[in-house]
Structures are given as C-alpha cells and as structure tokens.
C-alpha cells in the first residue's frame, strides 16, 4: 500500500548547496538521505512528497554545514499481508515467477500460480497442464501478499499467491467475466 508518511528530522545542508534556495537545498538533501531507504516501519521510500516546516538553521563548529529541523512528508510503499496487488511478471524460473510491484518485486511459487499442475519451459513460461493457461514475462497479474519479511532490510522478501478467485493473469480474469454474467442470467430465468 502507498502512504504519505510525515517525519521530523535534522537535515544537513552542505556548504556547496548554500547557493541554492533554502527549501530547494533541503529537498535535495532529504531526497539524497531518504531516497530508496527501506525499513519495516516506513516500508520503501519512493520520493519526497512535500516539506511542511523548516526551522532556523544551525551551523555546527568543525562541520561547516547547516542543520535545519524540518518536518516533511515522504511517499512510501509498505507491503501489507493479504493486500491485493497488480504487477508485471519480470522473470520466470523453474520454481516460480517474479512480479514487479511498485518499487520492489515479489515471488509467486510455481504451486501458487494457478489451480492446475504447472510446468516450466525453457522459453521461460509456466503452463497449466489441463487449462493450457500460460504465464510469461511482461504479463500483468493480480496477486495477493501471503508473506512479508524485512529480515534483510535492504531486500524485503514478498511471497504472493494467484490461486484464489479474482487473482491471476488479467487476461484470464477478463475471460471469466462474461461466463459469470451468463451464469447469473441463467439462474435468474430459472430461479
């Protein structure tokens, strides 16, 4: 899920940025400090959303930089259990598929790709034995987060499933819609 997260921090502005406007320099320093930052509390920082307050700057002896107590908002992505996400298949391996989700990627184990026996081909596709459904690189898919781990903060691990109704490759879901509509019409006439 994407969030706007408010923080307060002392932002260091080095002397080589004194020629910029105060807010411009502070925004650049916030982006440098927090850009790509990952933590279990914040999730993954995408960008600086806005600066709310900048207090008077202080120069610390021996450093030469200015420090500003600043309140600002960051745009963050924090994956949450059972969240439904939309992503693109980035790669396929013998054990499953990797899906790009916003700024990171998750993995769908081969057993969680569809309700069918699934096989891997050298052409990097996953194919259902009975349904003949195929998943390949660049397919858009809807999946559900079933595992989130920040054990290694620099590389969070996300486990996904596509084996539930309304999940899977978007083309499959579009194929299912007309079938559901016909079933409802049929029930309406008979019951």
For 21-76, how does the pLDDT look when each residue is reduced to its tens digit (9 = 90+)?
999 999 999 999 998 888 888 889 999 999 999 999 998 888 889 999 999 999 99
Task: Clarify whether residues 153 and 90 are in a common domain.
Answer: yes
Q: Contact at 8 Å (CB) between 108 and 99?
A: yes
Number of domains in the chain: 2
57 — phi, psi (to 5°)? -80, 155
Q: Which pTM value belongs to this model?
A: 0.72
Task: Clarify whether residues 90 and 71 are in a common domain.
Answer: no
Task: Clarify whether residues 64 and 47 are in a common domain.
Answer: yes
Residue 40: per-residue pLDDT: 86
CATH number, domain with residue 103: 2.40.50.140
pLDDT tens by residue, 73-110: 999 998 899 999 999 999 999 999 999 987 889 999 99
Cα 66 to Cα 68: distance, rounded to the nearest angstrom: 7
Domain containing residue 38: 2-77
- Classify residue 175: in a domain, yes or no: no
- Classify residue 186: in a domain, yes or no: no
Length of the chain: 191
Task: Clarify whether residues 59 and 98 are in a common domain.
Answer: no
Instruction: Pick the last residue of a domain from 29, 54, 77.
Output: 77
Instruction: Pick the last residue of a domain from 43, 59, 77.
Output: 77
Closest CA to 45 of 16, 68, 75: 75
Statement: residue 190 has pLDDT above 60? no
Task: Clarify whether residues 102 and 60 are in a common domain.
Answer: no
């Amino acid at each position: 899920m994407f969030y706007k997260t408010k923080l307060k921090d002392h932002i260091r502005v080095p002397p080589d940025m004194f020629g910029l406007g105060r807010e411009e320099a502070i925004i650049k320093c916030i982006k440098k400090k927090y850009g790509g930052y990952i933590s279990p509390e914040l999730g993954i920082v995408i960008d600086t959303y806005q600066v709310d307050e900048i207090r008077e700057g202080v120069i610390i002896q021996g450093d030469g930089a200015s420090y500003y107590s600043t309140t600002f908002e960051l745009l963050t992505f924090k994956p949450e259990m059972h969240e439904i996400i939309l992503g693109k298949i980035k790669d396929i391996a013998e054990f499953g598929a990797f899906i790009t989700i916003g700024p990171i990627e998750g993995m769908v184990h081969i057993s969680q790709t569809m309700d069918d026996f699934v096989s891997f081909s050298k052409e990097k596709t996953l194919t259902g034995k009975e349904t003949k459904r195929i998943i390949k690189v660049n397919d858009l898919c809807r999946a559900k987060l079933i595992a989130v781990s920040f054990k290694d903060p620099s590389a969070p691990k996300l486990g996904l499933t596509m084996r539930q109704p309304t999940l899977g490759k978007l083309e499959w879901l579009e194929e299912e819609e007309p079938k559901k509509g016909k079933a409802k019409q049929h029930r309406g006439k008979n019951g």
